[in-house]
Structure 1
């Protein structure tokens, strides 16, 4: 399916994805150069509106793409303002690129397009004895849902895009001197000792009152919700598929009776001598007390019994095939909406959470008091662990905030103490006593860091460039995303 098209020129296209996603991913090239209408405008780029409907279409397209890639999509995330805003930002970037390409009056000659297309193996293979098989070319594109005009228009657009981006990238040259200075800063080592004040060490010193527990429960009642559940009855037909005719008759009878007499499973159960089984407390995620392959943990069955019709009208669901020769029909007999669990049922967990919070507060308070004392007498090493050398390249077990605090110490004022949140909560005090450069440097790491710095320079140049395009295109916010 023209897989190589997506792999062609990975570096440039990778940057393209980072800066301005390809126009055809969401809406097609044409949608970025036509006026979508004047109602419900969100943003205008060069006087042309991006409408709420256009954004909705792009959000749906993005969600569909995520569904294909990940197998599932969080609907709450898709409907959130930040998600919609990120998609809108991409549409704006696409419009800006289209504006710039039009302003530059770029064009792709037939010869340049032909050279580009011959880099695609599936198309290169259409040449036989120096002649191009146009009929097979048309058929190849048709099998991928494209016409020649659509495909070649997209390739021209990509070529012009790469031309612009390549020009921008060429100006983003990283300084070797800057890279060297950055690497030296990342390599600089500091001798550090640690004194930690963690909640676990203070749990025995806290004792929450009943009032504390009830106040926490009321403030966090949303965290103590019993999930929606249903009570069901169901019948399963397990028939021998070797006798195809007999099986077909039983299966048809099972399906028809479950459908035609929707208010009860007893008729079909009595007719086919099946047991009506029951289970209480099935959630939308299934029944944890049952095996993973149980019918009530089957995704198709769960979707059916949690449908509006099944819950509200208590009708039999249609017969579903679980496996060859195995059918099921079910009926909701009771519905339990999501509700808050009573305090007494969750009191042990509430006490645990409140105790941890109080221990955390006490740990931080005690740590801060110790820090104030050490700042007056940084030579005091009482309670500190063994000294170790750390750097940004080799932070050992220090968190990001801890290494930031340690590297902020003034080399002219040692020893010095600083603090940061401890891993797992509480407070950690770091005593910095010495600073040195390592005796050896890692040439591979330095080369990698130099490359990253150059990439940052490129991205900075690209951001600056598109800021200027944004200003020239007169981007105007009309309404907020909801």
Structure 2
């Protein structure tokens, strides 16, 4: 589970950058320390929120925030932050670097950043980052660190391999085929033998009385305070929008962008003068060729450029702004006019021949173009601030005027709503996001103070920025259905249970006899099952068949089939398939190698934690619910 959380959390760092984890708060607020640097409670909470948001986006209404509101879940997040910090310390210690070209190629390889023409769209790039509350410089710094971490992890995981003997053994077990026959003892075959009396029915009713209870229920009023309700009460003026635009006009500006293609002849940083001279000579030769026939630039780039990523596209690098390329490349591209070809340009990566293919002049979006975006942003900020103020007022009013929710609803301009037939636990038939279908709220609703004294519940945080308080209107205690009303239902249950007893007894007797002496009479036609092909065999049957000892054949297993009876299975043959699926076996070997790589990485991270002297300073705890704060009053 911890490794799964690691996989989910680490990509999120690429979205928001790692810089938030490099500024450390007050040591008194630290929950852990790694490589002499603190991990604060705020950083832990932020990491948990990011993970919850990612899971919410992945699973939508299926997402249950309660699974993350536990000490174990928070501990998992903290462990991953510690692992992250320990790896970053190793990256720094080992001087692992990510080149500008690698960073640029990574950005160019993100499909979401491409426009309709399939090329990198800088405007889209900036707007996506703005929606996440960050800017290119910060995002790229975080991405650079993520790529460095991948270098570190790749160096470790790349050493793992699956021994052929292990992979072969695994595949043979997976492919092994067992020929089985079924002898079924159905419960319905024994119906005639079952004699049910009223005493049996009454005894079952008394013994299993809970089956015939109607759970306690309440009808309640409730009031919800959420961001939607707050936002509806927030008005954004034209003056606010104009002021925001004037103060942040640089945010809506797009610098000049240039598009270029290049042919790269690479050299190593420590290359000898002779090697550099050879590479430069080749570049000069190619330059002469493209100057002679500029229309052949793309063809020559595809055939000769050693930047394989751009070579596939005829050397095209898409549009880029200042700072995205290494300085020598940028300086040369800035001097070119559209269509011009540069001289040979030397950089840390080798020798470039650059052709400028397009220029997008700098631009600034007008106020009218971004009015709606700004209004939404201001409204969101104002709503967040107002929510905190209204939450305190909501909390106080619900507590101080505990006989009714109306004062709180009137004061905050909220609606009092009603819901019936609520039980002590959430109802799966109701949308899990319904605020009243929340375990904390239901627990508060069924408390003595709410039911007996008819007092408001405490304010409960049903979800992030969703507060709810309730008031019980009526309460129905647990009631037991009369025997006469459920007699026929009891009869059906007793019949089924007794028939099953007869079926199991007969099946077990047959199973014992077959173990003593083989007899194929009564068995169904044989079919072959394997771990790769279960033949629609149910889970418990399949497990019993595949776990059976087949050192001596025929072998037998007996299995109880809930609701059906009992079955005996005869295993007559065990063999390997005539044809082997080599592609699947190759995939299985890769899976084993991946599992071993994960093991290696886990062990390596443990070593890094020790080197970084990682230490947890405070135990993690689940979030403190709002009602606990209220209770302290």
Residues 33 and 95 in structure 1, CA contact (< 8 A), matched pair in contact too: no
The 3 A distance-change label for structure 1 pair 142 and 77 is: closer
Residues 75 and 620 in structure 2, CA contact (< 8 A), matched pair in contact too: no
- Alignment-derived partner of residue 422 in structure 1: 561
Residues 419 and 427 in structure 1, CA contact (< 8 A), matched pair in contact too: yes
- Rg larger for: 2
For 1:17 and 1:263, locate their aligned partners in 2 and report how far apart those are by CA, in whole Å: 44
- Alignment-derived partner of residue 98 in structure 1: 88
- Alignment-derived partner of residue 245 in structure 1: none
Match of 2:11 among 16, 22, 31: 22
The 3 A distance-change label for structure 1 pair 438 and 69 is: closer
Gaps of 5+ in 2: 223-403, 407-417, 424-430, 446-450, 457-469, 623-633
Residues 216 and 350 in structure 1, CA contact (< 8 A), matched pair in contact too: no
What TM-score, normalized by structure 2, do the two folds share?
0.48
Q: State the 1:458 CA deviation.
A: 3.0
Please, which moves more after superposition, 182-191 or 406-415?
406-415
The 3 A distance-change label for structure 1 pair 212 and 26 is: farther
For 1:300 and 1:187, locate their aligned partners in 2 and report how far apart those are by CA, in whole Å: 47
Q: State the 1:184 CA deviation.
A: 2.7
The 3 A distance-change label for structure 1 pair 45 and 300 is: closer
- Alignment-derived partner of residue 446 in structure 1: 585
What TM-score, normalized by structure 1, do the two folds share?
0.60
- Alignment-derived partner of residue 228 in structure 1: 218
For 1:358 and 1:65, locate their aligned partners in 2 and report how far apart those are by CA, in whole Å: 51
Match of 1:146 among 124, 130, 134: 134
**What is the SS of the residue equivalent to 2:179?**
strand
- Alignment-derived partner of residue 533 in structure 2: 394
- Alignment-derived partner of residue 53 in structure 2: 64
For 2:60 and 2:208, locate their aligned partners in 1 and report how far apart those are by CA, in whole Å: 37
For 1:109 and 1:417, locate their aligned partners in 2 and report how far apart those are by CA, in whole Å: 64
RMSD: 5.1
- Alignment-derived partner of residue 148 in structure 2: 160
Match of 1:479 among 619, 624, 627: 619
Show CA shifts across 1:181-213 (max 9, x none): 432332222221223456666677486553443
The 3 A distance-change label for structure 1 pair 462 and 215 is: same
The 3 A distance-change label for structure 1 pair 194 and 54 is: farther
- Residue 380 (structure 1) aligned with residue 485 (structure 2): no
For 1:59 and 1:67, locate their aligned partners in 2 and report how far apart those are by CA, in whole Å: 12
**What is the SS of the residue equivalent to 1:108?**
coil
- Alignment-derived partner of residue 193 in structure 1: 181
Show CA shifts across 1:8-52 (max 9, x none): xxxxxx999638623527985245455555668766555666566
Q: State the 1:150 CA deviation.
A: 1.4
- Alignment-derived partner of residue 336 in structure 1: 474
Residues 194 and 429 in structure 1, CA contact (< 8 A), matched pair in contact too: yes
The 3 A distance-change label for structure 1 pair 164 and 402 is: farther
Show CA shifts across 1:110-161 (max 9, x none): 4443443344578788xxxxxx999997677446531233111111112112
For 1:361 and 1:52, locate their aligned partners in 2 and report how far apart those are by CA, in whole Å: 58
Q: State the 1:96 CA deviation.
A: 3.8
**What is the SS of the residue equivalent to 1:113?**
helix
**What is the SS of the residue equivalent to 1:173?**
coil
Match of 1:405 among 526, 533, 544: 544
**What is the SS of the residue equivalent to 1:335?**
strand
Gaps of 5+ in 1: 1-13, 126-131, 233-261, 265-279, 286-296, 315-331
Please, which moves more after superposition, 393-402 or 403-412?
403-412
Residues 399 and 423 in structure 1, CA contact (< 8 A), matched pair in contact too: no
